[in-house]
Amino acid sequence: MNFETATPTDHFISPLKDTTPPDTPPEEQFLQITVNGDLPLLLPGANLVEIMKLSIGQVVPVFQMAPWVMGLYNWRGEMLWIADLGHFLGFAPWYNQAEAATRHTVVVIQPPYSATQPADEPPPTLGLVVNAVEAMVAYPISALQPLSAAISAPSISLEPGLLPFLRGCYGDRTDRLQLVLDGTAVLNAMAQT
């Protein structure tokens, strides 16, 4: 048998190549979620940490908190606040909805990574209870429509509590508006109450 020996100039693995066509506009990824039964929202992927299912018995209630705070959950050895996103945004609380369940879909979020964040200070993290998680989707950054397009749409009824937390909207293939939620604004507002 004759084995060839590798020299330092041999390349066994070629570097990854970007196969995106050069004229493709930059995109942002989102997690498509629903609250209040069927209201579609897009949560920026930069805020996403984890998606999990919790039973209501795993959440320890904390008294004298805002009504949308469901309690605390032991997550990776840390205490994670669990909040009802729909109730926070001005909709009916989860327990008053027709499809109220004993197991909840929780989306864990935190602010996007920042190089200026001190290494010894973990970013604030929060678990948001949503009705459903649909899919990961991507939209061109340049296609983001102003919020006025969503406000004037007859098919969407927007609660006033939702408006300060929206960045804009995208139209999908079925011409249904997808509202873009500002995850960092939600985190900041919840932390102040």
Q: What is the pLDDT of residues 53-90, one digit of tens each?
A: 999 899 999 999 999 999 999 999 999 999 999 999 99
What one-character DSSP code corresponds to residue 132?
Answer: E
pLDDT of residue 123: 78
pLDDT of residue 177: 78
Give this prediction's pTM.
0.80
pLDDT of residue 130: 93
Q: Which CATH code is given to the segment(s) 27-192?
A: 2.40.50.180
pLDDT of residue 32: 95
Q: How far is CA 177 from CA 12, 85, 143, 151, 163, in A?
A: 48, 19, 12, 10, 15
pLDDT of residue 193: 75
pLDDT digits (tens, 9 = 90+) for 83-94: 999 999 998 888
